[in-house]
């Protein structure tokens, strides 16, 4: 299955723009896209390990001053699913992007939203 990411509406968070910047900066012409960077700033030639993603997430949260104990690499997946659901994207479309085969599993990824943002009474104008 082929999945794509469209250009974003926010230049700072556009996945296509960030991808193009990374490929240019790392001088990647072939091979893995996601590669490790050593402590000297040198980009490796092999794919980064599966353990790198949670490490990057936790380090990024730490730098932002956020307690990382409740987050993991998997939080990125849950965050996308939750944000899409809160934006009104259909479960079918979310499943096409994430590759979920089972709707019950997908629904476990949707984190509880704001009680004021996701409110049936507000939706009908009460």
Residue ranges covered by each domain of the chain:
70-126
What does the pLDDT read at residue 117?
A: 66
pLDDT tens digit string along 31-80? 999 999 999 999 999 999 999 999 999 999 999 999 999 999 889 999 99
What does the pLDDT read at residue 29?
A: 95
Confidence of residue 24 (pLDDT cuts 50, 70, 90): very high
Contact 105, 92 (CB under 8 A): no
Q: What SS3 class is residue 37?
A: strand
Closest CA to 60 of 82, 76, 44, 40: 76
Does the reported pTM lie above 0.85?
A: no
Burial-class residue 21 by CB neighbours within 10 Å (0-12, 13-18, 19+). Answer: exposed
Q: Which of 82-86, 100-104, 122-126 has the lowest mean pLDDT?
A: 122-126
Q: What is the mean pLDDT of the chain?
A: 89
Q: Which of 53-67, 76-90, 104-118 has the lowest mean pLDDT?
A: 104-118
Query: Distance between CA 64 and CA 68 in Å, rounded?
Result: 10
Query: Distance between CA 58 and CA 37 in Å, rounded?
Result: 16
């Amino acid at each position: 299955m082929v999945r794509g990411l469209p250009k974003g509406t926010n230049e700072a968070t556009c996945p296509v723009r960030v991808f193009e910047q990374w490929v240019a900066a790392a001088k990647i012409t072939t091979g893995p896209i996601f590669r490790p960077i050593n402590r000297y700033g040198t980009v490796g030639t092999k794919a980064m390990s599966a353990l790198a993603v949670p490490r990057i997430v936790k380090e990024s949260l730490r730098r932002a001053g956020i307690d990382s104990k409740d987050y993991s690499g998997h939080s990125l997946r849950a965050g996308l699913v939750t944000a899409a659901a809160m934006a009104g994207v259909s479960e079918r479309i979310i499943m096409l992007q994430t590759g979920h085969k089972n709707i019950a599993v997908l629904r476990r990824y949707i984190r509880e939203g704001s009680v004021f943002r996701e409110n049936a009474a507000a939706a009908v104008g009460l």
